[in-house]
Structure 1
């Protein structure tokens, strides 16, 4: 079962959530009643909040399994793979860049330091690719004013669903990045990271890859934003769980927007 409903401005996630949440909740209740063992792929934005919402609805229906609910973030990986491949002079199909965190411009981190087959990028190129991947959805929405979706998004949705079906059919080695419930980070209930798909949904969670200093900085800054997004989805259905553990008293310094912020003379 795949959910993909698009309403509201992509630049206003609160408004988008308020418009999409009733429809997503209704669909989740229907699935929980009529097909409780379904694998649910959620592509409705804001995914950061919709996946927790769906999870809590399924809990109420007595049909919850954390391995069966996925937030589709594949479009971020597609963009990262394409940009990294162009920089390396390779085909996009030959490059894999994990994208971790969440599914908004301030919560996703392309892990270029772990790109395969090669992760040799200059700091300037890393920041350029990271910025382009993070703001990809907003840039597309500006170009295509009549639709928040794009062909890239449709391709990414199809790719994830095909991977899900391959896993169900017993194909081996089906790995995708997806936003799922996990314990891979002590402060986050839900995180996007590479997972192995199989007949039971999530067969293995590979966790967050080793990050560079720059990527760690980005990840540290996304934590409070992602916690707030998760709580928004939970509160909509009357769940007021506290975070897994408290945020640090001293928040990390904000990452520079570009290398020139660090070096004003460049």
Structure 2
């Protein structure tokens, strides 16, 4: 009897999808497979935090399964050669794109952020994306997968009064680098307090202002601890949902180019509420001073 034949490719593809779906189930993450219109994205993963809350932090996923994808081995992993149409599609995609290679013989999957790889400047144009052998999906912490989507290893602070306290309390302990995260926030406000600016010039201006106020005889000193301190401010903005920051782009500067990022980002509604709270606290201080007279 003549009947349609199901090729091996279909079984391999489904094994790859099942591996991602199984990972999501085991790690209590949300997996949404693309039901229609699959033109380069097989589905999406959404980050669920330790409190079992869906965060909205999402990455796209493209799965390639079968032995043929493991033929181009490197010292660190494997090369994957995407077609030009997929390179363009993934680079322009609005979410990080996890490229997952699934080995149907070992049932292990390996991943990298294809969008990040395509957006990161390199000395030579590469026709391939390298998937590290150390990025084993089944052994990966979910936070690692969602790093480029802005997932941070610090808890969300629900009360804005506590966020303000955190900004004020987070200070550099270096005498030649007097700076707090509060300084960076208020010095960076721009566009009639609708956006926040961040860059090394803003950092230097804030430090030099504080040195001037203190009448310090020393100039600004900045080493690795100070760089980590100010980049921690960027992480705080993302973790506390205060500004709409392209954190993946920040990581290209911070990790690959080893420099501070530079951006103007719109404040979220929460960020604008924090600005209003700061103004309210300023008015309260002003009233106290007037009554003291």
TM-score normalised per structure 1? 0.23
TM-score (norm 2): 0.21
Higher RCO (C-alpha under 8 Å, 6+ residues apart): 1
Q: Point out the structure with max Rg over C-alpha.
A: 2
